[in-house]
A and B are shown apart, each in its own frame.
Chain A
């Protein structure tokens, strides 16, 4: 074992492959990582293929039953399975499709020929197999990827960030998005992105999913201070965390959250 480099294989299911490209975008430093591993399969960039690997890096959500057996075979062969990006960890933006009837969507996109294609509920990898380490984000943060790889190669446990984005916002000293009169999912969203969207004057769209218990952190206080409830914010503005129990409860109850008290919560530059 010790005389052989760990073998890495990269796979993908339903996604945009942007997280793999973020890995490629690391550039020359990636060549240093390649010194410590042997990449044995990566369809997007190589034709060599091997079924013998130690670490499987898997991007994408599962959206068809026919994809599940392939994922299970990958799981059986891998000592460590890393879910790469939000499609793999929480279903990504694709989970929004679960709010619509499949048949209606097929008709909409393909017209009368749509029903020939198989499709199903959008779900993360963890709905089918055990995931050892989730790397959240749409897309992932390249530094977090390198950090996870270091932990795996050194055999150390990796702690998945579980504070709210507000935490990183405060550390960076950014102005609160709510103070600018806009809605932001930062109070309920898992951090690890270094609040990149807020750093560029935008709001958090919640791409890393909810923190493990959004009710126990400071979210309620932040939101109440500005006249909102968690339910309202989750119900109206959630794209990524549709599978989270808190959001599902709202959807299943068919409850239309009250309109937020902010007249135009999407507008920029209305801080008055």
Chain B
């Protein structure tokens, strides 16, 4: 049996599924990334740091705010710039906004059609307009929150090295808080919807990697932790997370302790679930997600848990910022000096690292970006292989459907991965 799915649909970017099962049941499966090389790490060299932080979000249309946050964070470390507490709170809010819009996109537009027995969300416009409207409201809610803080989503305009070039008006902030509170019903309905669908039964223990902060469920900064029990500072990432090239992918693969590891919502929930807000922990239980969970299909469920968390966190962060009073702060004075800086965030799809070196004039001399999807690719290949074995005897359609669903569960961001 040969399966070849060219340009898999309902994922970001261009990838193919290849699988073959010989007589007797031994199978081989892999995910081929055929996206064209984009060379961001190459062409930012020579650019001024302000150009670098302008270019970085353009790596990804879904997680542009993550790339923006991590690029300014890394650049600030390289240039020795300290940012204010207010800036950190606003960046955390930006990250929450992006998680809401990205998870809503994946859960409803990319993954849900598989569970609802349709080819896309489009037939639902007629059949189930309420669900489609809810999907659009959640996606737009995240986008608008991102726009309020960062000026635009994707590709923010008010984010810069050292802080923000403009701040939201307190009145607009208050309105946004109320709108987010209004989305609680939609999030609750999302939990109900996902509770009602059948998630394929499949398990393959692996390593789960994400950032961790001592006091909150983090999407912005932290140390790198592994479910294998190790925690390392960001500066040690290069020795630990080893990137390598495989012939079937223009996106590099990455490994740490094992042959592969997984990043993203499931990894975060598995490693840090105790830091989720109580509402999200309730949703986790209601949805039957019991950490540590080794079923990659549950990544979509973990995203719903994070949708609950990030909505509450956004409301909380806005209230905190309003209580502190948003103040126009003076930008830290930047004196370019040669240096290197490493930044990390949890993008919706997982751990994202940017590493820049600048010369004395503030021009970039070296750049390295480690993208969530790259870190997942080896794990995906091994999961596909194991799933193929589990499905021995199933029809070709059934095998293909499950392999497609598995790839989508990882929510790959392929053009991002060939940055």
Contact = CB atoms under 8 A, between A and B. Distances in A.
Classify chain B: how many residues form its interface, as a range.
35 or more
A19 B61 contact: yes
Contact of B245 (A19, A27, A110, A268): A110
B227 interface: no
Given A28-B136, A108-B42, A18 B155 contact: yes
B122 interface: yes
B136 A30 contact: yes
Contacts of B47: 96, 239
Given A16-B61, A17-B415, A24-B109, A44 B10 contact: yes
Contacts of B64: 16, 18
Contact of B12 (A44, A94, A105): A44
Interface in B91-144: 101, 105, 109-110, 113, 119-122, 125, 129, 132-133, 136-137, 139-140, 143
A17 B62 contact: yes
B165 A105 contact: no
A151 interface: no
Nearest to A30: B136
B334 A31 contact: no
A48 B118 CA distance: 10
Contacts of A268: 160, 162, 165, 331
B42 A139 contact: no
Given A31-B132, A97-B39, A202 B157 contact: yes
Contacts of B362: 266
A48 B155 CA distance: 29
Contacts of A104: 42
Nearest to B143: A25
Q: Which of the listed residues A20, A24, A49, A97 has the most CB atoms from chain B within 10 Å of its own CB?
A: A24
Interface residues of A, number: 63
Interface string A84-110: 000000001110110110001110111
Contact of B58 (A113, A138, A199): A138
A258 to B, nearest CB: 15
A155 to B, nearest CB: 25
B247 A200 contact: no
A106 B39 CA distance: 8
B36 A64 contact: yes
Contact of B121 (A14, A17, A45, A97): A45
Contacts of A46: 9-10, 113, 119-122
Contacts of B132: 31
Interface in A205-233: 205
Given A24-B105, A266-B48, A16 B137 contact: no
A52 interface: no
A22 interface: yes
B245 to A, nearest CB: 4
Contact of B151 (A17, A28, A34, A196): A196
Contact of B110 (A18, A45, A113, A201): A45
B250 interface: yes
Interface in B147-161: 151-155, 157-158, 160
Contacts of B43: 93-94, 96-97, 99-100, 105
Given A14-B36, A25-B139, A45-B109, A39 B122 contact: yes
B119 A47 contact: yes
B139 A27 contact: yes
A105 B418 CA distance: 13
B38 to A, nearest CB: 6
A111 B120 contact: no
Interface in B9-49: 9-13, 35-45, 47-49
B37 A63 contact: yes
16 contacts: A17-B415, A18-B58, A25-B140, A27-B136, A28-B136, A42-B120, A44-B9, A45-B109, A45-B110, A48-B120, A64-B36, A67-B36, A94-B38, A108-B41, A139-B154, A196-B152
Given A63-B38, A196-B152, 14 more contacts: A16-B59, A18-B155, A27-B143, A31-B129, A44-B11, A46-B9, A46-B113, A46-B120, A93-B43, A97-B42, A105-B39, A108-B41, A200-B166, A269-B330
Interface of B: 7, 9-13, 35-45, 47-51, 54-55, 58-62, 64, 101, 105, 109-110, 113, 119-122, 125, 129, 132-133, 136-137, 139-140, 143, 151-155, 157-158, 160, 162, 165-166, 245, 247, 250, 252, 330-331, 334, 362, 415-416
Interface of A: 13-22, 24-25, 27-28, 30-31, 34, 39, 42-49, 63-64, 67, 92-94, 96-97, 99-100, 104-106, 108-111, 113-114, 116-117, 119, 138-139, 196-197, 199-202, 205, 237, 239, 266-269
